[in-house]
Structure 1
Amino acid sequence: MKDKNMIWNKFKLDTAKNLPLYRLLADRLRQMIVVGSLAPGEKLPSSRELQKLLCVSAITIESGLNALVEEGFLCRRPRCGTFVAETLPGAGVKIDPPKCIYAIFSNMSVVSGYWFLVLGELERQFRAAGYQVCFRQQEAGAPVPVEISLYRDCAGIVLCGYNSLAYTCEIQKRNMPVVLIGSLDTESDSEENLDMVVHNDRERAMISTAHLLDLGHRRIACVTGPAHSKFAAKQKAGFLDAMRDYDLVPDAADYFDIPDLEYEDGVKVGYEIFCRRNRPTAIFAGNDRVAIGIIATAEKLGFPVPEEFSIIGCGGLILGGVPHTPALTTTVSLPEESARIAAEKLFRQIRDPEAPRGTTVVRVSTISFGETTMVCRSGIPGGIVPAEPVRLASV
C-alpha cells in the first residue's frame, strides 16, 4: 500500500506536450498499465481524488478515463469505481495521441477567396506545430456533427462560417477544443463560453456606405443576404447607421435580399435593380462576388461604371475565374490574421481545457480604392463639393 501511495504521490502530467490535459492523463495512465505499475483488476483512485491530485477539472478527469475505457485499458463498475481491465489490449498496441485538426466549413465554398486564404493559413499554423489539417464541409443547419464521435484522431476543431448553435453545442459536449471563425447563426448566451474570431461586419458596412455618401450619393441600394441570416442583419444595420448619420431614412425598396452571396446572385439582382424606374446611383454589395456580378449586368444593359452608378464591394480579395473589370472599390478582409488568432486560441485550449474563452473582433476599416466609385453626377444637396475620400487606417 505504501508503494502505491508513493506512485500516486508522484503522479504528474507532462504538460510540456502540446496536447489536451485529458489526453495527457490518458497517456500517463496507459503507460503505467503497459509497464505493469498498475496491475489488471487494480482499482484507481476516485475521480475526485485524481482531480485534487492533479489540480484539474472533473471534466478533464472523466474525459481521460473515458478515453481509456473506449480503448479497453479501463473498465467501470457501477457504484464500485474504475478498474484496470482484467484483459488488456494485445501486446504492442500503441495508441497515438490525436495529431489532426479539423477545419469544418458550413455552407462555404473553400474556392472563394476569403475561405481559401483562411484554410491556407490554418494549414501553415497547425503543420508548424506538428498537426495535420483535415478539411470537411458541413451544412450550417446540421443538428448533429457528422461522425464527430468517430474523430478519435482529432485534437481540435475550427468551425468556419456562421454555424448552428445545436451543432456547436454537440461538439462542446464532447469536451473537444473548438474555435469559430465567424459566429453562430442566431444570438445566444452560449457565445460567452466560446472562442470566436469575427469581423465587425456592421462597422464595415457603415464605412462602405459612408464612402458612397461622401461622394454625394443619396439613393443607395443595399444588396446582401440570405434574408434571415445574422450576417445580412449586421450588414443592413451598418448600412442604416451610415444613412442615419446623414439624416437619411432608406426606403424598404432600397434593400435587396439575395439567396446567396455569389457572382450569379449579383448578376440576377442586377436586372432587378436596373429595371427599376427610380434606379439608385450607388450600391453597397455584401461581398465582392456579388458586386462583380452586378457590374456585369450593368455593362450588359449599357450602364457604365462608375459614370452611371457607383458600387463598393466587401472583401478585397482576388477572385479566380470571375471577371472583375474595372478594378473594384472594396473594403479589405484579413483572413490570414483571423486564422492566426483562431490557431492561437485553439492551441491555448489544447494546452488547458479550462482556459477562458472569448470573442476577438478583427476590425476592418481600410478601403481599397478601385475604379467603381466616383462623385455623384447629380451632386450633393446644397452644392457642397465632396472632399477627396480619406483612406482609413486599419485598427
Structure 2
Amino acid sequence: MKAKKEITIYDIAKKLKYSPSTISRALNDHESISKNTTLLIKKVAKEMGYRPNSLAASLRNNKSKTIGIMISRINRPFVSSLISGIEETARKAGYNVIISQSNDKYENEVINAETLYNSRISGLIVSLSMETRKLEHLRRFMDQGIPIVFVDRVPDELDIHKVIIDNYTAGYKATQHLIEQGCSRIAHFAGAQHRNVYRERKKGYLDALKDHHLPVDNDLIVSFKSLSFGEGEKATRNLLDLPQPPDAIFSANDTAAVSAIMYAKKRGIKIPEELAVIGFNDDPIASIVEPALSTVIHPAIKMGQISAQRILQHAAEEDENNSPEVTVLPTELLIRDSSKKKA
C-alpha cells in the first residue's frame, strides 16, 4: 500500500487560510496567538493527522530530548530492569529513549554509537559489551559535550559519571556466606576480568578465602567468556571430575549457577548438602530452579533511575560544574535453599 502524504503546517494553513507562521506559533503555544485560535488550529491539525517533526526541531535546536541507551543484551532480566528505570525517569521529564544492544560484540557497539550520534541524542547511557576494550567510538560524544553516564560495566580509565554497585563487597559476602555454611573448597565462576564487575567479584571471593585462612586453589577458579548456561554446565562437569571436587560454587551470575545446580543433580549430587551454590543478580530463574538459588540482589531499576537523572541534570544545566561523580550502590544477599546447609 502506498504511504499517505505527510501533513505539514502548510496543509493546515491552506485549509484554515492562515499563514504558516501563525500555524507554527499556535502549535507551539506562542503567546502572540489567541487561545481560541490556538485551540482551533490544534483541533484541525489533529483531525488532519498532523504529526510534529521532532527530527527537524532537533536539527534546529541541536537537541532531540532523547537519551540513547547502549546495553549488551536486552533479554537479560538485569538489563530490562535497568532500561525500565531509565525510561521511567526520562519519560517523566519529557524525554524519549532509543535502545541499542550489542549482543556483547564490540563491532556492534561501535555501529550503535555511530547511529545514536547521528540521531543527535541529548545524552548517552552505556553498559559496555563483554568484548569492549577500546573507547574511541565514544570519544566524539565527549568532544561534542554530549553527556555520557556509564552504568554497571564501566571503563576504569575514564574520569566520568558512573553508576555501579559494590561488586567487591558482594563477592566477599557471598563467599563468606558459603564459608559460614561449613564449605572449604569453594569454586568460582569468573567473568571476563577486563570488565570491572567480574574482576571485583573475583577479588571479593579471593579476599574472603584469605581472611578465613582458606587456600586459593586455581583449579577451582573457572574463567568464562559469557557466563552462559552451556559454559556453566561444562565447568561444573569438570569441577566434579576433579580428585577433590568443590563443596560450593560462587558464580558471578545466576545463569551459570542454575546450570551448575541442574547438572549436579543429574550426577546425583545433593544440593546444598554436597554442593552449595550461590549466584548473582536475582534473575527470575533463580526462584524457579529446585532448590531455589541463593543470590545477590542487584538494584537494577535504581541504577537506571540514577543514570537518567545524571543526564537530565546535565541537560537542564543544574550541575554547573558537571564534575564526574561515581555512585556506588549497596547490594543484599538473598539466601535460599541452594546454599543453606545450616539452620
Category of TM-score, reference length = shorter chain: 0.7 to 0.9
Structure 1: gaps (5+ residues):
1-70, 72-91, 376-385, 389-395
Structure in which a larger fraction of residues adopt helix: 2
Using structure 2 for the length normalisation, give the TM-score. Answer: 0.75
Distance 1:201 1:140, change over 3 A: farther
Q: Secondary structure at the match of 1:102?
A: strand
1:333 matches 2:298: yes
Work out whether residues 317 and 333 of structure 1, in 8 Å CA contact, stay in contact via their aligned partners in 2: no
Identify the range of structure 1 (167-176 vs 303-312) with the bigger mean alpha-carbon deviation.
167-176
Residue matched to 2:75: 111
Q: Secondary structure at the match of 1:146?
A: helix
Work out whether residues 183 and 196 of structure 1, in 8 Å CA contact, stay in contact via their aligned partners in 2: no
Distance 1:94 1:222, change over 3 A: closer
Residue matched to 1:343: 308
Using structure 1 for the length normalisation, give the TM-score. Answer: 0.65
The amino acid that maps onto 1:338 is M
1:135 matches 2:99: yes
Distance 1:359 1:140, change over 3 A: farther
How much does 1:319 deviate? 3.5
Structure 2: gaps (5+ residues):
1-55
Would you say how many aligned residue pairs link Structure 1 and Structure 2?
Answer: 280
Q: Distance in 2 between matches of 1:261 and 1:239?
A: 17
Q: Distance in 1 between matches of 2:59 and 2:100?
A: 27
Residue matched to 1:361: 328
2:149 to 179, 188, 191: 179
What value does the CA root-mean-square deviation take over the aligned residues? 2.7
Work out whether residues 113 and 319 of structure 1, in 8 Å CA contact, stay in contact via their aligned partners in 2: no
Q: Distance in 2 between matches of 1:228 and 1:177?
A: 24
Work out whether residues 186 and 249 of structure 2, in 8 Å CA contact, stay in contact via their aligned partners in 1: yes
Q: Distance in 2 between matches of 1:258 and 1:242?
A: 21
Q: Distance in 1 between matches of 2:194 and 2:220?
A: 17
Query: Alpha-carbon deviations, 1:278-303, whole Å to 9, x = none?
Result: 10001101111110011111111111
- State the structure with more CA Rg: 1
Work out whether residues 212 and 282 of structure 1, in 8 Å CA contact, stay in contact via their aligned partners in 2: yes
Q: Secondary structure at the match of 1:331?
A: strand
Work out whether residues 154 and 195 of structure 2, in 8 Å CA contact, stay in contact via their aligned partners in 1: no
The amino acid that maps onto 2:138 is T
Q: Distance in 1 between matches of 2:194 and 2:325?
A: 25
2:249 to 283, 300, 305: 283
How much does 1:263 deviate? 2.1
Residue matched to 1:121: 85
Work out whether residues 270 and 294 of structure 1, in 8 Å CA contact, stay in contact via their aligned partners in 2: yes
The amino acid that maps onto 1:237 is K
Q: Distance in 2 between matches of 1:349 and 1:297?
A: 49
Query: Alpha-carbon deviations, 1:116-167, whole Å to 9, x = none?
Result: 1011121111111111111112334656732344122x11111124664333
The amino acid that maps onto 1:151 is S
